[in-house]
Amino acid sequence: MTVSVLGSGTWGIALTILLANKGTKVVLWSKIESEIEALKADRKNIKNLPGAELPESVELTLDEVYAVKNCNPDLIVFAVASPYVRDTAKLVSPYIQKGQLVVNVAKGIEEKTLDTILDIISEEIPQATTAVLSGPSHAEEVSRLIPTTVVVASASEEAAKKIQDIFMTQTFRVYTSDDVIGVELGGSLKNVIALAAGMSDGLGYGDNTKAALMTRGIAEISRLGKKMGANIETLCGLSGVGDLFVTATSHHSRNWNAGYLIGKGMSVPEAMEEVKQVVEGVYCAKAAKALSEKYDVEMPIVSKVYDILFNNKNVQEAVVELFMRDKTNEHSSVDWRQA
């Protein structure tokens, strides 16, 4: 069994460690020479993954042809950050065989096209069989083999079950699903809500406030998901509520951290620079707002986060405006005539 992991960021390395410790042959590829050279020089000093160690069995390469073709991978894992998925997919597509199994583990929605990550991979690599793996899974914990549970979704039952088998360990439990759009939306849009949760903490607000943001946030994601064909059960599961919970409450979360710094008074560029990693929620906020308009779905938290990020909206003013919106029922199924 050979697995190629494309992308040597924290998530790509964490999954590489997980698979290598299981005894799987892993080829880790990056386009960035400095990243590969740093890993070759010291497998115990991994940026942003303190305490993690890259096993000696892992092959490190800058050669994309070797990574996706010549090493004969049973599975290719797309672990590059969402803004770079399309370019990477275009780069490797000519070398990928028909029927090659590809799983996306990045989270995001492309701003210009409103494509999900799996949409992008399927467009650029139409000959591949694709899936998405997502859930509450901080790389910092997975790299240290701390118990974690995720879900893999694919249009192909065979593909989903094969990926489940490849990743399943005593500390990494994998469920299967056929709801690709639900898993992708939950994993992507929760980053926007996590930014809002971080802002709330940065402002010094309490648990009540964050609970409200998370609960109403998942309601917004569910409304959009329903319009886009997602299963509500999916959004109430690991890739929805589960991923939102971990991302909105943990100091491991780059989205929470960026939001916290903005709540503390930093500008968006300053917060992005301080976090020093790709903050997916900032990229996703534009796409989320565009999707809400395209599908005519009310998403007030997403809208306010967008205004804070891109229209210089004051964070405290945004909170007041959210609370002073027109009065309404908690959910659309309220019907006094049935009481």
Residue 74: pLDDT band with limits 50, 70, 90: very high
* pLDDT score, position 260: 95
Q: Which of 124, 136, 130, 224 is nearest to 182 (CA)?
A: 224
- Res 222 pLDDT > 90: yes
Name the residue with tokens 């701003």.
Answer: 111
Q: Taking residues 296-305, what's their average pLDDT?
A: 96
Region 73-97: what's the mean pLDDT?
Answer: 96
What's the pLDDT at 106? 94
Domain ranges (residues) in the chain: 2-178, 181-323
Give yes or no for residue 339 having a pLDDT over 60.
no
CB 73 within 8 A of CB 103: no
pLDDT (mean) for 182-210: 94
2-178: CATH, from 3.40.50.720, 3.40.47.10, 3.20.20.70, 3.65.10.10: 3.40.50.720
If pLDDT is split at 50, 70 and 90, which confidence band does 337 have?
confident
Non-local (6+) Cβ contacts of 219 within 8 A are: 331
| Res. 153: pLDDT tops 60 | yes
190 is a catalytic site residue: yes
Give the 3-state DSSP-derived string for 13-68, with helices as H, strands as E and coil as C. HHHHHHHHHCCCEEEEECCCHHHHHHHHHCCCCCCCCCCCCCCCCCEEECCHHHHH
Q: How confident is the model at residue 276 (pLDDT cuts 50, 70, 90)?
A: confident
Segment 223-230 shows an average pLDDT of 96
Percentage of the chain lying above the pLDDT 90 cut: 81
Q: DSSP strand E in 186-230: where?
A: none
pLDDT at 320: 87
Domain 181-323 architecture: Orthogonal Bundle (1.10)
Choosing from 22, 69, 162, 190, which is the catalytic residue? 190
Higher pLDDT, 162 or 250: 162
- Which residues make Cβ contacts (< 8 Å) with residue 297, sequence separation at least 6? 220, 223, 224, 227, 291
d(CA 219, CA 322): 15
At 252 the pLDDT is 83
